Structure 1
Amino acid sequence: MSTKLVAWNQSTDCCLWHGVSCNNNGQVIGLDISSEAVFDGLQNSSGLFGLRYLRRLNLAFNRFNNIQIPNVIYNLVNLTYLNLSNAGFVGQIPIGVSNMTRLVTMDLSTQFLGIQQLKLENPNLTTLVQNLKDLQGLYLDGVNISAPGNEWCRALSPSLPNLSKLSLSRCHLSGPIDSSFSQLHLLSVLHLDNNDLSTTIPEFFANFTRLTSLSLSSCSLQGFFPDKIFQVPTLQNLDLSNNELLNGNLPQFPQRGSFRRIILSYTNFSGPIPDSIGKLVMLSSIDLSLCNFSGQLPSTMTYLTELIYLDLSFNNLTGFVPLFNMSQKLTYIDLSNNGLTGSLSSRHFEGLNDLVFMNLGYNSLSGNIPSVLFVLPSLQKLRLSNNQFGGRVNESSTTPFSQLDTLDLSSNLLEGPIPEFFFELRKLNVLLLSSNFFNGTLKMANIHNLQNLTRLELGHNRLSINTSNSSSSSYSFQQLTRLNLASCNLQSFPDLSSQSKMSFLDLSDNQINGEIPNWIWKVGRGSLVHLNLSHNLLRDLQTPYKISSILILDIHSNQLQGDLPIPPPSAIYIDYSGNKFNSSIPVDIGKSVLSSCFFSLSNNNLRGAIPESICNASYLQVLDLSNNFLSGTIPNCLLSINSQTLGVLNLGRNILSSTIPNSFSPSCCLRTLDLSKNNLSGQIPGSLAKCKLLEVLNIGNNNIGDKFPCLLKNSSNLRVLVLRSNKFHGDIRCPPVANNSWRNLQIIDIASNNFSGNLYPKCFLSWRGMMLGNDAELDHNHLRFDFLNLNNFYYQDTVTATIKGLELEFVKILSVLTVLDFSSNNFQGKIPDTVGNLSSLYSLNFSKNALTDQIPKSIGYLTQLGSLDLSNNQLTGGIPEELTSLTFISFLNLSSNMLFGKIPLGRQFHTSSEVSYEGNTGLCGFPLERKCEGVSLPSPEDMNNVKTDINWNYVCAALGYSVGLGMTVWLNFLFVW
């Protein structure tokens, strides 16, 4: 809205108009109509471009509706200051600007990056600035320059010898930074944020001795940041954030450094925070979050009394939060409130040249104040109040961090009690201490002084917070919007009923029992959008209640019972899992989950059918109804209507019956489908082949009678295939398919079926997810489905597998957990040598089949193997010596075969018990009681394999011809019981 133009009166002298300045001759030399909402009339404004004496023109922050800068602007040849920033100009910057040779400052920048923006093509940057020799300030943020480093650097130097302020953020610049850039030796401000420089920072930046502000955030910087740049004596602002490949350390800072702001967040800076940081007494903001800093917090940070913003979150900082400096060189003296009497003399302060902080307040000292106190070279803060000195003393507050607005130490390794002085920082707006090892007991009343708090997060420490004998009057934080007291040993709800602005409340992982009070739904007076009460001992909801406005509602892992509480239609995340709800799912539940992307009712006692109205939840990405007593059939619409969004469907461990609907859509986005442990029958529907993104398929423990699922042969993302305990039959051969099918497969469990036929060698060659050194993503991450990325929410896949003879449920599937279980089928013939190519395999189970011939020596190559079960077959020959290479193995079962000869000894192999070999009458040696003396070993002829003709017209579903035994990558897989 205009505030200047509306007051212009043509009946008065224009030199009196607001925004207009004139010289002594009445000639207009300055025009400032910035932020006036002007949107038209510029292109035909002969009056404006006829002001030939004009020296300063400011049209910034107007609305010129995507027009080009008029070329006639070159008429204003006397301009020294031109500001057209954020005014709605687009397109090519006109050549006429390069003729304005008297320009000292030019600002054409924009904060808004749309499809249309200002650009420099013809003229390019070189042409634009080649005549502007007097230019000192150049601001082109958001202008599309699109130039490599050698071009844009050489365009600026030596053309602009007087340039001191340069801002080229978001200009599509690339690197490297050319050496010619070093000629800009007068630079004081350099901002190159949000360009893809992909380069190291040159050492010559440290030669810019007038540099006050350096901002290089989000530039894809790499390499090591030069320490010398930190030593530039004039540098006040440094921003290197969001350069995750940029390495560096904080150096020793010089005495009385000029720094005001240091931002290194989301870089790879590491090492300790040096004690010398305490010398930067002018620091107001420091952000070292999401780095790799370690060691203890230096006690000298307490000298940073001008600090307003401190964020050290997500590092590896350890130890206690310091308050006092105990170094040998005395820099901190606090003798306040000690009953000191008498007078002070100069000798009391001899040798204190390093003293930065002194507090002698609240004593009974008298006399004159020694003048030496005022010439101590390092002294920054002096407090002598409440004594009996003569005269007056100008003092400033000496409370550490007394100016702090934001203090974030979350997600570190800090320990000990929370320092009490934190709760004396009356200006504190944000206090984040969660996810550390702070301990002790804290009363909510201790926080009462922090009346300006908007965010308080103390969760996930070792704290105990006492809320007893308190009422809502104890929590008069009327500005509080976020409160996190997770894992704080709370026994009851703190009374937050008077909180009028709270939008985020996390009381999870405590010991709160009883009812959920009905006032909690009114916290924030309708502004509460995130409520987490999970992992408590809650049993019921106080009535009457009305859940409204909440977006994220998490009450899982309690003891809640009865009917399901109806979530509000606004909720996007609903987790009721792990309770004792025993009703049926409401028929019209679809009305309440219309906006939901996550809905979990798993691990309850719910009964009845799955209502078809749930298909109305068209935004669902995760639906988990597992481990209940749901019956009936799977709604057809569940697999078709939601196909474009649904990534996880888990209906396992219910009593669902009939067949799997053949209604998967061509746009199927499923990553996880778990229908295990139901009463499903029939066959795998052919439309499942449309789910190209499928990673986890678990239909185990049903009554499905089908052949091997060759229809999934093109599911290259498949990682987990579980068919166990069904009625599958036939062999596992499929028609030839493209190379590397199922290349990411890491778990295949087809145990307890009626599969038969031979194990074909090429079946094992393309399962590259079970090989070290393969092209699959083998790391120590877990299989999971990410959603609501801004909130870091994800769904954790689970699977049950038989390992070490035990059926174990893995609630987190490591991407390095590799399992092959073909047990309890009717496979026959020999075990192929190619099984030895599965070099990352952790569990191998061929037990309870009709396999013959010898144990392949190649199994000895499986150095990651922890569990091997070949029992209950018809294997013959001796146990290969190569199996002694299995140093990681902790479970071995070769029982009930026809093995003979001496049991090999060596490494961990000999730790197996006698049970591992029973039922093999020809075996001898430790740990069996049967000695090998006098026992004849089999002849070489006896050891020869029985040759079998193989029809290569068919190969297994995972056929692949690229095979390599990569042993260069060693994955240390930890099996957690």
Structure 2
Amino acid sequence: MEVFNKLSFLTELHLQDCGLSGSISSLNPIIFTSLSIISISSNSFRSKFPIWLLNLSSLVYIDVSSNKLYGQISPGLEELPNLQHLYLSKNKNLTGINTLALSNASISGSIPNWFWNISSQLRFLSLSFNKLQGHLPNQLSRISLTFIDFSSNLFEGSIPLPNPGCLGLDLSKNKFFGSIPAKIGESMPNLKFLLFSGNQITGIIPESIGYMSSLEILDISRNSLTTSIPSSIIAFTSLRILELRSNAFSGGLLFYFSNLSSLHTLDLAENNLSGSIPSTLGDLKAMAKKKYLSPYLYRLYISFKSFEDSLTVKTKGQDLEYIEFLSLVVSIDLSSSNYSGEFPKEITKLSTLMILNLSRNNIIGSIPQNIWRLHELTSLDLSSNNLFEIISSSMSSLTFLGYLNLSNNNFSSKIPFIEQMTTFDEPAFARNTCLCGPPLIAKCQGDDLDQRQGKSNIDDENDNGFIDQWFYLSIGLGFATGILSPFFILGIKKSWCDAYFNVVDKIIDKSLGLRRRGTIGRNHRWQ
């Protein structure tokens, strides 16, 4: 690195993706007093944040991303008067000083107080996937941040409220506890994204959440929220994703789902909800037509890590993460609750539904015959219910169905093992005591008789074929014998041959005489 110490005239230094390693702290900052651009990204530098950068007042552009820097960012960034572009994240590029992305940068400890001084200029802030801890300060509400992502850290304490102009708040996967602020809806009425999943939040969802009329994503899953789901949610006509799984909500579903006209992902699984699934579930209009991500959201997801197109959906018995695919995922998960009543036939109106999970409930009735209308269904889990009667044969036409689980029910009769249904193995139909036929080992009543009849018919056909062959063979042999025998016998002795043909000649002459007399008689009568 000594060669760089002699280049005092440099204004730009580009060393990105050069396979460099070691420490960058040994560089002499006095030599780089004219430096306006420095880019050393995508290398293997291992050191603390280079303090000497803070002394280069001419810097306009800094990119030290995708290295192995560690520790806290030193104070002084706010004193660089000309800085316009700052790239510090391991994986994310930044577009200006109004955006600061430090996600997945191995930063630990608490956020220093000086950081909030430079934050006054920020609009986008992402500190996700680090090991930051402690309490978030009250001055967060005084910073004009538009989008905040503190997810996947070790923050704790009560939930802070940003400024009223905030559009996106992600505090998921931390250790926040206590209740959701009662006036959260009034404090942030313009919020579009609210993600509190994976914390230790208790209490209820406050009614004031109904003030967030522009809310598009609400994820408060995997907490300890109780009581019923507030009816104020049905003011969310723009809501696209509702994730409330793994809480302690009780009561029934009282939603007027027709008001949730933009909803295409509904996850209320693993709660204590009860009652029947309302027929208005079939009124979710966004699940009955194709959807396209708006250009505004597309740009937003690209520019900010927290709100990129990603979603974790529980299917096939495991959590599957959809990345840059969320706008296309259409799913309903009401599993592991206490729902009863009949299978909601109105679900078949949702023609673009891809994932349906109603497992581990007390649902009765049968699978509707018109389930074929869910022609884009890729995953169907109805296991561990009380469904009965036959399995609808129309399921065989669900050509996109890749996962099926109908186990632990009371289905009876023979499995319609045709077309798409032939792609599923025995576990998909297991533990249905009255179910039979392939792929199960259990045979259906009459299968043995059918097999015996089939074998008998085959044997009869074989026997008849054998008889027919001998019949025609015997005729052929008889005909050949009748024709060839006289020639064989007469050819033995000439005298026998002469006598035989004399007799034949007499018969022919006699026949011709009779024919002539008969002809003369007819002619006489006509005269």
Q: Same fold (TM over 0.5)?
A: yes
**Percent of pairs with identical residues:** 29
Cα offsets for 1:10-32 (capped at 9, x unmatched): xxxxxxxxxxxxxxxxxxxxxxx
Aligned positions of 1:70-469 closer than 5 A: 451=10, 453=12, 458=16, 464-465=19-20
Is 1:595 matched with 2:144? yes
- 1:740-798 per-position Cα deviation (integer Å, ceiling 9, x unaligned): xxxxxxxxxxxxxxxxxxxx4x742x434334xx3x4247x899586599x67772365
Aligned-partner SS, 2:70: strand
Classify 1:903/1:720 alpha carbon distance in 2 versus 1 (closer, same or farther; 3 Å).
Answer: closer
Deviation at 1:558, TM superposition (A): 3.2
Q: In structure 2, which of residues 329, 342, 357 is the aligned counterpart of residue 829 of structure 1?
A: 342
Quote the Cα distance in structure 1 between the aligned partners of 2:251 and 2:122. Answer: 41
For 1:783 and 1:690, how far apart are their aligned partners in 2? Answer: 22
Q: 1:929 to 1:727 in 2, by over 3 A?
A: closer
In the other structure, the counterpart of 2:516 is none
Partner AA of 2:66 in structure 1: D
Secondary structure of 2:371's counterpart equals helix
Asked whether 1:579 is paired with 2:157, we answer: no
Q: How far apart in 1 are the matches of 2:368 and 2:231?
A: 37
1:618 to 157, 164, 172: 164
Aligned residue for 1:631, secondary structure, equals strand
Whether 1:698 aligns to 2:253 is: no
Contact 1:443 1:466 in 2 (8 A): no
Structure-1 residue corresponding to 2:105: 558
Aligned to 2:491: none
SS of 1:909 mapped into structure 2:
helix
Question: Which residue of the other structure, out of 52, 61, 74, is the alignment partner of 1:518?
Answer: 74
Say which of 177, 195, 203 aligns to 1:631. 177
Name the SS for the 2:383 alignment partner.
coil
Q: Return the alpha-carbon distance in structure 1 between the equivalents of residues 296 and 412 of structure 2.
A: 42
In the TM superposition, residue 895 of structure 1 has moved relative to its aligned partner by 1.6
Q: 1:493-572 maps to which residues of 2 (within 5 A)? A: 496-497=53-54, 499-510=56-67, 512-516=68-72, 518=74, 521=77, 525-535=80-90, 551-566=98-113, 567-568=116-117, 569-572=120-123
Task: Return the offset for 1:550.
Answer: 5.5
| 1:827 alignment partner AA | S
> Of the two structures, which has the highest relative contact order with CA contacts closer than 8 Å and spacing of 6 or more?
2
Tell me if structure 2 keeps the 8 A contact 1:877–1:901: yes
The structural deviation recorded for 1:803 is 0.7
1:588-642 CA deviation, whole Å, 9 max, x = no partner?
4434xx221122222222222234xx45x23322222222221222223432122
The answer to whether 1:927 aligns with 2:482 is no
Q: Aligned partners of 2:3 and 2:420: how far apart in 1?
A: 56
- State the SS of the aligned residue for 1:883: helix
2:77 maps to amino acid: W
Give the distance between the partners of 2:421 and 2:111, measured in 1 at CA. Answer: 54
2:270 aligned with 1:725: yes
| 1:119-144 per-position Cα deviation (integer Å, ceiling 9, x unaligned) | xxxxxxxxxxxxxxxxxxxxxxxxxx
Deviations 1:903-960 (A, max 9, x none): 34445532322222222233333332234573499xxxxxxxxxxxxxxxxxxxxxxx
Task: Find 1:848's aligned residue among 354, 360, 367.
Answer: 360
Q: Output the CA distance in 2 between the equivalents of 1:770 and 1:444.
A: 63
Does residue 885 (structure 1) correspond to residue 432 (structure 2)? The answer is: no
TM-score in terms of structure 1 length: 0.40
Residue pair 1:671, 1:694 contacting (<8 A) in 2 also:
yes
Partner Cα separation in structure 2 for residue 803 and residue 629 of structure 1:
27
The answer to whether the Cα contact below 8 Å between 1:841 and 1:865 also exists between their aligned partners in 2 is: yes
Is residue 34 of structure 2 the alignment partner of residue 478 of structure 1?
A: yes
8 Å contact kept, 1:445–1:474: no
| Larger of the two Rg values belongs to structure | 2
Q: Which residue of 2 aligns with 1:917?
A: 429
Counterpart amino acid of 1:560?
I
Q: Is the partner of 2:179 in helix, strand or coil?
A: coil
Kindly tell me: are residues 924 and 556 of structure 1, through their superposed partners in 2, closer, same or farther at Cα, counting changes over 3 Å?
Answer: same
Say whether the 8 Å CA contact 2:215–2:239 is kept in structure 1: yes
Residue matched to 1:641: 187
Change (3 A) 1:659 1:587: same
- What's the CA shift for 1:468? 5.7
Q: Is the 8 A contact 1:647 1:785 kept in 2?
A: no
**Rounded Cα–Cα distance in structure 2 between residues aligned with 1:556 and 1:608:** 21
Q: Does 1:814 align with 2:326?
A: yes
CA displacement at 1:862 relative to structure 2? 3.5
Structure 2 CA distance for partners of 1:649 and 1:881, relative to 1, 3 Å: closer
* Conserved? CA contact 1:704–1:726, under 8 Å: yes
Q: For residues 661 and 784 of structure 1, do their structure 2 counterparts lie closer, same or farther at Cα, with a shift above 3 Å needed? A: same
Are 1:444 and 1:466, in contact at CA under 8 Å, matched by a contact in 2? no
Contact 1:786–1:793 (CA<8 Å) still a contact in 2? no
Deviation at 1:898? Answer: 3.0
- Paired positions, count: 437
Q: How much has 1:877 moved relative to structure 2?
A: 4.0
Query: Residue 903 of structure 1 contacts residue 926 of structure 1 at CA under 8 Å; is this kept in 2?
Result: yes
Correspondence 1:803 to 2:315: yes
2:367 and 2:2 map into 1 onto residues whose CA distance is 67
Q: What runs of 5+ residues in structure 1 fail to find an aligned partner? A: 1-441, 537-548, 734-759, 938-977
3-state SS, counterpart of residue 464 of structure 1: coil
Which structure carries more helix by proportion? 2
Question: Which TM-score applies when normalising by structure 2?
Answer: 0.69
Using the alignment, how far apart are the partners of 1:783 and 1:840 within structure 2?
24
Please give the secondary structure, in 1, of the residue aligned with 2:307: strand
Partner Cα distance (1:559, 1:624) in 2: 19
In structure 2, the partner of 1:604 is: 153
What is the rounded CA distance, in whole Å, between the counterparts of 2:3 and 2:295 in structure 1?
Answer: 38
Question: Does the Cα contact within 8 Å between 1:581 and 1:605 map onto a contact in 2?
Answer: yes
Aligned 8 A contact 2:348 2:374 in 1: yes
Distance 1:783 1:846 in 2: 34
Q: Deviations over 1:170-204 (max 9, x none)?
A: xxxxxxxxxxxxxxxxxxxxxxxxxxxxxxxxxxx
1:353-388 Cα offsets, whole Å, 9 max, x none, are xxxxxxxxxxxxxxxxxxxxxxxxxxxxxxxxxxxx
8 A Cα contact 2:5 2:27, kept in partner: no
Cα deviation digits, residues 213-244 of structure 1 (max 9, x gap): xxxxxxxxxxxxxxxxxxxxxxxxxxxxxxxx
CA RMSD of aligned residues (A): 4.1
CA contact (8 A) 2:70 2:105 kept: no
Q: Relative to structure 1, is the Cα distance of residues 910 and 570 closer, same or farther in structure 2, using a 3 angstrom cutoff?
A: same
- Opposite residue 556 of structure 1, the aligned amino acid is S
DSSP-derived class of the 2:129 partner: coil
Task: Assess if the C-alpha contact under 8 Å between 1:704 and 1:728 holds in 2.
Answer: yes
- Alpha-carbon offset, residue 828 of structure 1: 2.6
Q: Match for residue 219 of structure 1?
A: none
1:61: which partner in 2?
Answer: none
Contact between 2:84 and 2:97, CA under 8 Å: does it hold in 1? yes
How far the C-alpha of 1:836 sits from its partner, in A, is: 4.1
Query: Which residue of 850, 859, 870 corresponds with 2:382?
Result: 870
- CA 830–628 in structure 1, closer or farther in 2 if over 3 Å, else same: closer
Cα 1:801–1:901 change in 2 (3 A) is: same
